Amino acid sequence: QKEVEQNSGPLSVPEGAIASLNCTYSDRVSQSFFWYRQYSGKSPELIMSIYSNGDKEDGRFTAQLNKASQYVSLLIRDSQPSDSATYLCAVELNTGNQFYFGTGTSLTVIP
Amino acid sequence: KAGVTQTPRYLIKTRGQQVTLSCSPISGHRSVSWYQQTPGQGLQFLFEYFSETQRNKGNFPGRFSGRQFSNSRSEMNVSTLELGDSALYLCASSFGGRGADTQYFGPGTRLTVL
């Protein structure tokens, strides 16, 4: 079992819709969770971090964490064509400073 | 504040050669992690350095090695290159504290092995 799993997609949503990206992880005691966005040919850029159960909102982005279910998600409201990218879920292992990444979900927002 | 920088951005090597990649972290960051990214495997953790010491290591063969200097700059070396080493090599820097540490990525070095 991989440490971090994501649906590879591709996920397509129309412009203005809500995109929902999901991630599960295997290390039950992980404490830190991250979402990165990666455009084709570019390096990952941090979108959000979340450490506590519940929701964390930042503009059009909402991260949701459920440690009991070992599940973290990212919602993108009012999706824009510029949101088209691969979204990577990352988990920091409990040992600290070692991060595991999912293989990413490819999102396409259709104008 | 300047971001993470990596040099060179592109490299072409042949099988059997060795290569050294360089990473300069964000000012104040003491941790540097290296990743290999390929289309099939995604981002895979190579190793992490903190205060000139390798603190964490992924599951890569000994041909992959690294080091960190006193100014936190890091280098990664791959010896006896294989075709399968063709990938985007990313480094990421962070403060390096235990827990709630956030990594920021450099632009990457694209290595092609012929």
**Whole-number pLDDT of residue B99:** 67
Q: Chain A residues with CB inside 8 Å of B43's CB?
A: 44, 88, 101, 103
Q: Kindly determine whether residue A101 and residue B42, on different chains, have CB atoms separated by under 8 Å.
A: yes
A1 pLDDT exceeds 90? Answer: no
Instruction: Report the residue of chain B nearest A105, measured CA to CA.
Output: B42
How much of chain A, in percent, has pLDDT values that exceed 90?
78
Residue A48, pLDDT > 90, answer: yes
The segment with the largest mean pLDDT, out of A9-13, A83-87, A89-93, is: A83-87
For residues B106 and B3, the answer to whether their CB atoms sit within 8 Å is: yes
Contact B111, B17 (CB under 8 A): no
pLDDT higher than threshold 70 for residue B2: yes
Average pLDDT of A94-107? 85
By Cβ distance, the residue of A88, A98, A103 closest to B56 is A98
In chain A, residues with a C-beta closer than 8 Å to the C-beta of B90 are 43-44
Report CA dihedral (B107, B87, A11, A61) to the nearest 10 degrees. Answer: -30
Whole-number pLDDT of residue B73 = 97
